């Protein structure tokens, strides 16, 4: 079951949704189905494609203490 991220075009609410089968996505805030599908960093990273960087000094996990400071190195 894929997880999708959406932005509502009516109220700009950003949310994630797990869809099963032929279920149609709707905004949990205003209930509209006028949505814009976004790329999920979880879904894209899980396929071996693009994965977000940690954003910190470590590079692997983002630990601000730097390389070698966490158990991922």
Residue 45 tokens, joined: 């990273």
Instruction: State how far the Cα of 53 lies from the Cα of 60, in Å rounded to an integer.
Output: 7
Supply the mean pLDDT for the chain: 73
Instruction: State how far the Cα of 62 lies from the Cα of 53, in Å rounded to an integer.
Output: 8
pLDDT in the model for residue 49: 46
Band (pLDDT 50/70/90 cuts) for residue 36 is: very high
Domain segments of the chain as ranges: 3-38
How many CB atoms are located within 10 Å of the residue 46 CB?
11
Task: Give the angle subtended at the CA of 42 by the CAs of 37 and 46, to the nearest 5°.
Answer: 120
pLDDT in the model for residue 1: 55
pLDDT in the model for residue 8: 95
Q: Give me the mean pLDDT over the 40-69 stretch.
A: 56
Residue 28 tokens, joined: 């949990």
């Amino acid at each position: 079951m894929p997880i999708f991220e959406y932005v509502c075009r009516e109220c700009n609410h950003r949310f994630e949704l797990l869809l099963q089968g032929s279920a149609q996505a709707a905004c949990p805030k205003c209930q509209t189905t006028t949505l814009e599908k976004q790329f999920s960093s979880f879904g894209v990273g899980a396929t071996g494609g693009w994965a977000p960087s940690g954003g910190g000094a470590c590079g692997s996990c983002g630990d601000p203490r730097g390389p070698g400071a966490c158990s991922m190195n």
